[in-house]
A and B are shown apart, each in its own frame.
Chain A
Amino acid sequence: MVDQIHGPTPDEIEQVRELLSPYLDDEVTDGERALVERVLAGSTDLQAELATLRQTVLLLQSLPRVSTPRPFTLSEVDAGLARPAPARDAGIPFWRRLGLGPLLGGVAALLVVVVFGAVILSQMGGGVAAPQAAQEFAETAPEEAPAAAVASAPTAAATVVETVVVEKEVQVEAVEEAEMAAEAQPETLALGASPAPTTATEAGAAPAEMAEPLGAAEEPAADAASPAPSPPSAAAPPPAERTNMAPSLTVEAQTLEIKPGRIHVTGRVALPPGTALRITFWRNDEPFDWAQPRDLKAVVGEAGQIEITLRARPERTDADLFQSEPADYLLKLESLDPAQPGIAHIYFDTYTPPPDNDSTM
């Protein structure tokens, strides 16, 4: 009990101090509330503590919500439902993957020696049957064997064409072909120099894993988002032309920072907050499989703010773009929201070294 004459005791003050926080949240029992209010009435110190505690909570509650940098939807690979596409092994003959290349190379070299030896022996007056048999045997040898004999293992690996993952490529190409046909405009490389492309075609650009929010249509998002099937077109633009889709959006207040292994972009686009964007990276008008994740997405923040960070995949030997062959680069931003279509282009090149060896542009 609070002593009405002498005020609260130190024990009571300590007890109530512990209760101030739940008291603010109305998470005290009736008895605790009565105690807090009686002791508070007799302690200006506790009143001050309660006031500052309340302000602290109000300040915390005023902290702004941050927008997600990208959708966190899972791909089948993320979820462990599919294996990642092999990037390095594609196109490698099975015997090289098994490490049999050197062995087959040795066999091929032995065959060459046998053939040449037989030829020399025949020129020296030896039997006729021997070189003929050797030649026939050489003709039936595996075609790859001589190549394996010439190429050492590292150089052979270096000649392998790296496979670019083309998830949903059919959809994307269909959309882009339709955009090309709809626009029929001169190539434009300046940002925001052309009107918006057709909207209907972009509806199909949403990747399958971009699901509808809860409460939306019953059909799986992949089905809802799929574009009308588009047969392969003989008039499909070659890859070199596909980056020249006229942008319909300008990136305002753009900053572009390029560091070894990392590209960071900020700016503003005229799209509503929450709009999902797909980011693709191009080098000399070809898709550039440099960044991870390959299926890079971003979400437009408040006031159209965008922030995109691309990181080089660990296996890339050209993580530092300025230490690689100079080239033209393009970051292409495409809205995935069919109701808010738009494309923006961000160009840079590495022909000129950044000032003071700083890769910030």
Chain B
Amino acid sequence: MDETQAIAAAQQGNLSAFNRLVLEYQNLAYNVAFRLMGDPDGAADACQEAFIKAFKAINQYHGGSFKTWLMRIVTNTCYDQLRYQRRRPASSLEETAENPVYAVRLVNGHERPEEYALRQELSDLLQTAINGLPDDQRTVLVLSDVQGFSYQEIAEVTGEALGTVKSRLSRARSKLRDYLLQQQELLPAQYRLKSS
């Protein structure tokens, strides 16, 4: 069963077919959610909710890229959750303190501990910088530079014009670059930005 057949079957209410799509896209969905929310538990909740919404709305999918249709639901669900968390800052902070980003998931089995530690420092710093971006800029940055989406795909996911995607990405990258330049002393030496 290919993707088109799975979508058609899911539109007939076939949950097993839809779950094939879930398995195909869950890694991408979780990674997008994780980078947008900066929190593994929140990302998991958003992902689960997004797949439920997608199943209920699958009949509104009328062709085109299923990936971008699904990622639009994922990013919108992440926005909703982030807005909800901001309205409840106390519980959000508590959750953050209780549930740090567990580094165990990021282990690469082939690297040495010191390499892992350095990469983890970099990863934490980058995630902190990403978290500091406005929602709209964070989304285009994550989709483009972390997940490798094309400008056209990002425009479909966000529902914005191509020019808007370009300018948002440009601003997001510049802010991130400025942040990393300010934090040079916190970056491992080999990752420090050099102007030439």
Partner-B contacts on A (CB < 8 A): 18, 20-22, 25, 27, 47-49, 51-53, 55-57, 59-74, 76, 78-81, 208-216, 218, 220-222, 259, 262, 266, 301-305, 307, 309
Contacts and interface: CB of A to CB of B under 8 A. Distances in A.
A52 B167 CA distance: 18
Contacts of B104: 266, 301, 305, 307
A241 B99 CA distance: 35
Contacts of B145: 57, 60-61
B151 interface: yes
22 contacts: A22-B169, A56-B177, A57-B145, A59-B126, A62-B122, A63-B35, A66-B105, A68-B47, A69-B44, A70-B44, A72-B44, A74-B51, A78-B55, A209-B16, A214-B1, A214-B20, A218-B1, A220-B14, A220-B16, A301-B105, A302-B106, A303-B109
B47 A55 contact: no
Interface in B2-49: 2-3, 6, 13-24, 26-27, 29-31, 34-35, 40-41, 44, 47-48
B170 to A, nearest CB: 4
B173 interface: yes
A194 B196 CA distance: 59
A80 B148 CA distance: 34
A259 to B, nearest CB: 8
Contacts of A76: 15
Contact of A25 (B1, B6, B18, B151): B151
Interface of B: 1-3, 6, 13-24, 26-27, 29-31, 34-35, 40-41, 44, 47-48, 51-52, 55-56, 98-99, 102, 104-109, 119, 122-123, 126-127, 141, 144-146, 148, 151, 166-167, 169-170, 173-174, 176-177, 180-181, 191, 193-196
Nearest to B106: A64
Contacts of B18: 74, 79
B173 to A, nearest CB: 5
A71 B23 contact: yes
Contacts of A48: 195-196
A148 B119 CA distance: 66
B107 A212 contact: no
A67 B166 contact: no
A211 B141 CA distance: 32
Given A51-B196, A52-B193, A67 B105 contact: yes
Contacts of A20: 170
A7 to B, nearest CB: 18
A64 B194 contact: no
Given A214-B24, A305-B105, A72 B176 contact: no
A302 B116 CA distance: 13
Given A66-B34, A209-B19, A214-B1, A56 B173 contact: yes
B29 A72 contact: yes
Contact of A66 (B17, B31, B98, B194): B31
